[in-house]
Structure 1
Amino acid sequence: MVTAAVLLCLGMQGGPAEAARRAPSFPWDDLFGTRPQRPHKAVRRSAVPLPKPRPAQAPAATHAPAAAHAPAATEPEPPAAETQSPAAPADAAKPAEPQLSACRQALTDEIAIAPSIPDIHGAGGCGGEDLVRLEAIVLADKRKVAVKPAAILRCKMAAAVADWVRTDIAPLAQSLGGGISNLDNFDSFECRGRNRVAGAQLSEHGRANALDVRALGLANGKSISLTDRSVPRALRETVLHSVCARFSTVLGPGSDWYHEDHIHLDLIDRRNNYRICQWNVYDPLPEVAPLLPAERPEQAPPREVAAKSDASKTDASRADQGNADHGRASDGKPDAARSHDAAAPDRSAETKPQPTKKRRQSRRF
């Protein structure tokens, strides 16, 4: 009996510890797959970093406390040579030059005098890049064809104009005698809409991609207007075929009312490389002889005699005209009226004028 009581007491003392160690088990744990929570593992602690070992050339540690108690002394300034930063290389100071385009490299001074100008970026997409100022075109024989005034164009457009003048226009002008000396530039870069209409789509002139040519100047001083109908038709047709084969857009007389006195050329990019060539080469106007006085024949009388005879003829014609007018007036009257008019002057001469008032006669009684 005593032994059972001792065992019971020991079981009661170990019960709470055993209950805390073992988690209670419920019948639905196996049904829902709930597992008893496991105690967390002990957190691993990393070792505290230690300072690196002191180098051998460092001063002794015994002087450190003395230095700490000593008054802070001003450190000497480093020499000026050490404070200055090392000199930058000369190449790094200069800005990098922009790389030239393939067109700019090909358009040399042997082809055209066309210095590069800065890019233009205006409102509404106006302007462009890779721009040049086309001042003159150099021919194969080193002669220069001046562009008056100088045209601001994109490099590709300037190269196309130079190739056109060198290949097609120079031989054509040489056949006329004297060769070509200048190109009349009617318009090049201008930030505007098409045909200068307000609100219209941006023109190729606004993109520096168009040139208007009005005439070709020859070395002998003559000027050939490309839209003048007095210029031979064959010459104008030759120029027409040359420009339509090189440029995307060609506008001249007959295209609209804005290109009657010049030729518009541009290099606009269209779908499927579509091109527009609208230039009617009209037939030349018929020659009209000037209205000049005819030469005086040799058998003509002197001018003084001719003038007197003309004056006498004029007087005679006037008299005849007066008689004819009087005859026509008399013919229009009846016979009685004509006889009365003929007798009227004689009657007036014979009779005296009658008084308008009657005299009062006194009556005698």
Structure 2
Amino acid sequence: MKLFLVGLACLLPLAAAAQAPERSLRPLASPRAITAPAPPLAEAKSAAVQAPKASTPAPKVRPLARPEAALGQIATAPRDPKQAETMGVTRELEPGPDGIQLSKRPKARPIDVRKLAGVQQTAPAPRANAPAQKVTPVKGQICGDPAIQGVFVGPVEASLSACGIDSAVRVQSISGIKLSTSALIDCNTATAVRTWIDKGLRPAVGNYGGGVSTLQIAGSYACRTRNHVKGARISEHGKGHAIDIAAIRLKDGTSLSVLNDWGKGKKGRMLKASHAAGCRIFGTTLGPESDAQHRNHFHFDTAPRRGGVGYCR
């Protein structure tokens, strides 16, 4: 009996071990890297649409070396035949090493290519240091002006120390207008008279009577006092700075007389315009309305005035 019980006790554990467990045991983690579980099929398709594919860089291809025969040649289509001939381009094509039609090297560009292209050419600017052209003096000119004709006189001395001219000239004509009597003055005064003729007298007279022919001179250099008054200051005539004009002769033989025509009709207006022009040019301008001494002539002188404003009466 005891032996039977002992044997039964030994068989019970074996029966319990042979019975399957209700749950299986969790396997141990694998030592390799654990991969994430695959997503569901719908998610996998969505991810496949959204995620950009990794671009595989294309292998770099080194271009083949250009054949020596093709160096310096152009593989472009030829121009229009006429244009090609004009620009010096050969129309014939030659096959290259690979059977490709290659055009020949263009000929040298023609010299007048800018004219062919319609480009306007401009003349080169003159050099800044180019020597000035020599001006040939005109026979009879004085004061360095071909328009002033006469004779160079030089220094003029007088008994009075206040009189005299350092460098005098004897003027015979100015700007083609003759002087009835040569005027002994300096070059500064001669130049002022020329300006008055060109910018005052000629515009005032115009073509009336055929234009101005001669100036009737009433006085130039004279060593005397002002208005011949004893004890007065030396006149500008005594320094070669003054000239007196009594009348303006015209080419038709008529004249504009300061004494007879001042303030009368058309001639009077031309005389007044000539007198007014002198006020803008000379240092002193006197006429019939200044005083009795100048009722029969215009007095022009180049005496300097304060502030550059001339005396005009």
Instruction: Tell me the TM-score normalized by structure 1.
Output: 0.44
> Contact 1:119–1:129 at 8 Å: present in 2 too?
yes
State the structure with bigger RCO (CA 8 A, min sep 6), 1 or 2: 2
CA deviation map 1:268-314 (0-9, x unaligned): 01222232111xxxxxxxxxxxxxxxxxxxxxxxxxxxxxxxxxxxx
Matching residue within 164, 179, 188 for 1:127: 164
Q: Does the CA contact (< 8 Å) of 2:288 and 2:296 recur in 1?
A: yes
**AA at the equivalent of 2:143:** L
Deviations 1:94-119 (A, max 9, x none): xxxxxxxxxxx983452110321020
Q: How far apart are 1:200 and its partner, in Å? A: 1.3
The structure richer in helix per residue is 1
Residue number in structure 1 paired with 2:11: none
Corresponding letter in the other structure for 1:221: G
Conserved? CA contact 1:251–1:277, under 8 Å: yes
Asked whether the 8 Å contact 2:142–2:148 carries over to 1, the reply is no
1:210 aligned to 2:242? yes
Counterpart in the other structure of 1:107: 143
Deviation at 1:231, TM superposition (A): 4.5
CA RMSD of aligned residues (A): 2.1
**Which ranges in structure 1 are unaligned for 5 or more consecutive residues?**
1-104, 139-143, 279-365
- Paired AA for residue 131 in structure 1: A
Aligned residue type for 1:220: D
Provide the C-alpha distance between the structure 2 equivalents of 1:133 and 1:208, rounded to a whole number of angstroms. 10
Is residue 300 of structure 2 the alignment partner of residue 268 of structure 1? no
Percent of paired sites with the same residue: 32
Task: Please report how far the alpha carbon of residue 153 of structure 1 lies from its aligned counterpart in structure 2 after TM superposition.
Answer: 0.5
SS of the equivalent of 2:218 reads: strand
8 Å Cα contact 1:214/1:226 also seen in 2: yes
Matched, 1:230 2:267: no
1:155, CA displacement in angstroms?
A: 0.5
Aligned to 2:187: 155
Q: Which residue identity lines up with residue 126 of structure 1 in the other structure?
A: C
Secondary structure of 2:293's counterpart equals: coil
Distance in 2 (alpha carbons) for counterparts of 1:146 and 1:236: 18
**Rounded Cα–Cα distance in structure 1 between residues aligned with 2:305 and 2:202:** 29
Whole-Å Cα distance in 2 between the matches of residues 231 and 115 of structure 1? 38
SS in 1 for 2:295: coil
Give the Å deviation of 1:197: 1.3
Kindly indicate whether the alpha-carbon contact (under 8 Å) linking 2:275 and 2:298 is maintained by their aligned counterparts in 1. Answer: no
User: Deviation string for 1:312-336 (max 9, x for gaps)?
Assistant: xxxxxxxxxxxxxxxxxxxxxxxxx
Give the drift of 1:132.
0.8
For the residues of structure 2 that align with 1:235 and 1:196, how far apart are their CA atoms?
30
CA distance in 2, matches of 1:132, 1:181: 22
SS in 2 for 1:221: coil
Give unmatched runs, 5+ long, in structure 2.
1-140
2:294 maps to which of 259, 262, 265: 259
Q: Is the 8 A contact 2:286 2:294 kept in 1?
A: yes
Number of residue equivalences: 170
Aligned partner of 1:116 in structure 2 is 152
